[in-house]
Amino acid sequence: MKGMTWYLTAGFVAAATWSAVTTFSGSPGYAQPASFYAEAAKPYKGTTIRVLDEITPLQETLSKIVPEFEKETGIKVEWELLNHFEVINKGQADMLSGRGYYDAVMMHGFQLGPMISAGVIRPIDDLVKNPKLADPNLATADFIQRPYKTAAFARDKQYAFINWNYNQVYWARGDLLSDPEEQTAFKAKYGYDLAPARTIEQMRDIAEFFTRKKGEKLAGKPLESDFYGIVLEGIKGGSTFGVLWNNFMKNYGGDIVDAAGKPNFDTPENVAALGMWAQLWKFAPPGIAEYSLVDVPTVMGNGIAAQTIAWSDFVLGVDRPGVSPFAGKFVYAPVPTKAGSTARSAEAEPSVTVISAASKNAEPTFLFLEWLADKKQQDKLIALGQGGVPIRSSSWALPAIKDNPNKTLFAAMQSTLEISSAKPKMPKYYELYDMLSSIAQEVGLGKISPADAAKKGQAEMLKLCTSCLL
């Protein structure tokens, strides 16, 4: 995706507040009460704030709402949208330099450890406690709590609200899973019914079953090219290791650190998860080692793989008429867990927009971030997007979600978000992640055995940190 910059301005700021005398209920001269934000923003009217965010279908929908904030408050918002990788690099560079060009920057959960450790994020506790700035009706208890609490708080301080509940779901070709011939053949081979995978083992069976060569039949028709049983992210970087870590290792009962933050990579549970990871790569397209989080939905949309685990917000941009020829034929489910295990985990990236420590406009920026998280705006976002990824529990009952024809997608999202946590706040997250991403790729390519990978990962982690948490 290309980066985009949206400069969202209001045309008639002078007439934007709701405190002007209007006619109401047939009574001329009735003074309609000002909205909380119109009143709170009076000292900052005419201020310009700069906000950097990531471009996804969610933010593109939000762009239709942001001008309402400008109209309501008189605060101008220059809202810049860049792709996933650019928003990380550009946002962090600005904050770490102390330049403060951006007043607020969208941060994925994994960025928070290094950035809090560097002291470049402004805590908002004082703003939250300020009655002139804190909306008494924000209803933070309505935020989906686990993503919110694990992302927005650290060291007994609050750094943000919650903005984006990025999460992964299981995504499969429903037309293939429901094909009678395929169902009969699958049951004959594996002894159980073909359906969306509930366990990692079932996902592995489905991957093997649907991996076929050009000329073989799929749903009764000869294939014009090779077809693959699964596609996963495999690039060194991106969210590849997050997929392995949270969708496999944790579901096998493993993790990369123990409760005290000490490296814990060389456990039997992690070795088993790495072994399954290596197996699944055998049923994926040959270019998997170069696939990023953007490539995975592209492959699914093009119809050359039977299933994946992917970011649900990208699904929203693919499973649409005119975008994918298979729109309406996909089915979704929660991320599969290990058979017989009580562990339940799913890769997610609860993300926040933080105020730069170098910002000179903390108060008006806070009002904007608070306004975005408000239920009124969130309800509009869901309605305009004909769905979306909720940050509020009440959103699940909105018609755009409750009555959406793609019910399995939103049910899968809800299941994921029940258990979603932000990444642990690690000061050396980038160094750890880069090293572990390399190991994940080497295991997938068969360059190193799962057991040797676990030993290597443990040794390298211990070089970086004996206690890895913030």
CATH 3.30.2320.50 given to domain 167-347+424-464: no
Q: What are phi and psi of 11, to 5 degrees?
A: -80, -35
pLDDT on residue 26: 35
Q: Give residue-wise pLDDT tens across range 18-62.
A: 233 232 333 333 333 569 999 999 999 999 999 999 988 888 888
Pairing of strands 76-82, 48-54: parallel
Nearest CA to 296 among 280, 276, 312? 312
Q: What is the value of pTM for the model shown? A: 0.89
pLDDT on residue 237: 87
pLDDT on residue 33: 52
Residue pair 151/110 in contact (Cβ under 8 Å)? The answer is no
- 10-residue block means of pLDDT along the chain (470 residues)? 34 29 33 77 98 89 93 97 92 96 96 96 98 97 98 96 96 98 98 98 98 98 98 94 98 96 98 98 97 96 98 93 96 98 95 97 98 96 93 97 96 96 96 97 98 98 96
Residues of CATH 3.40.190.10 domain(s) within the chain? 4-21+34-165+349-407, 167-347+424-464
The number of beta carbons lying within 10 Å of the beta carbon of residue 463 is: 10
Distance CA(200)–CA(222), nearest Å, equals 29
Q: Which residues contact 175 (CB under 8 A, 6 or more apart)?
A: 219, 326, 329
User: What fold is seen in the domain 4-21+34-165+349-407?
Assistant: D-Maltodextrin-Binding Protein; domain 2 (3.40.190)
Q: Give residue-wise pLDDT tens across range 175-188.
A: 999 999 999 999 99
pLDDT on residue 4: 36
pLDDT on residue 30: 35
